[in-house]
A = this chain, B = another copy of it.
Amino acid sequence: MFSFQINSNCSSTRARVGCLNTPHGDVHTPQFMPVGTLGTVKGVSPDQLLKTGSEMILANTYHLHLQPGEEIVHEAGGLHKFMGWDQPILTDSGGYQVFSLGKLNKIDDEGVEFKNPRDGSHLKLTPEIAIQIQMSLGSDIAMAFDQCPPYPATFNDVEEACLRTHNWLERSIAIHNKSDQALFGIIQGGCYPELREESARVVSSFNLPGIAIGGVSVGEPSDQINHIVRKVAPLLPEGIPRYLMGIGSLRELAIAVSNGIDLFDCVMPTRLGRHGTALVSGERWNLRNATFRNDHKPLDETCLCETCTNHTRAYLHHLIRSEELLGLTLLSVHNISHLIRFTRAMGRAIEDGCFSEDFAPWQKDSIAHYTW
Contacts and interface: CB of A to CB of B under 8 A. Distances in A.
Contacts of A312: 76, 82
Interface string A320-342: 01101110111000000000000
A310 B72 contact: no
Contacts of A310: 46-47, 84
Copies of this polypeptide in the complex: 2
Interface stretch (A35-43, A121-129, A254-262): A35-43
A220 interface: no
Given A306-B47, A314-B68, A318-B68, A326 B40 contact: yes
| Interface-central residue, A46, A311, A329, by most chain B CB under 10 Å | A329
Contacts of A39: 315, 318
Contact of A72 (B47, B77, B318): B318
Interface string A278-321: 00000000000000011010000000001000111011011101
A44 interface: yes
Interface string A246-285: 0000000000000000000000000000000000000000
Interface residues of A, number: 39
A311 B312 CA distance: 31
B67 A321 contact: yes
A75 interface: yes
A359 B329 CA distance: 37
Given A76-B296, A296-B76, A45 B326 contact: yes
Interface in A231-256: none
B40 A75 contact: no
Nearest to A82: B315
Nearest to A85: B310
Interface of A: 38-40, 42-48, 67-68, 72, 75-77, 82-84, 293-294, 296, 306, 310-312, 314-315, 317-319, 321-322, 324-326, 328-330
16 contacts: A38-B319, A39-B318, A40-B319, A40-B326, A42-B324, A45-B330, A47-B306, A67-B318, A67-B321, A68-B314, A68-B318, A72-B294, A75-B296, A76-B296, A84-B315, A329-B329
10 tightest CB-CB pairs across the interface, nearest first?
Answer: A43-B325, A84-B310, A68-B318, A40-B326, A38-B322, A76-B296, A40-B324, A84-B311, A72-B294, A82-B315
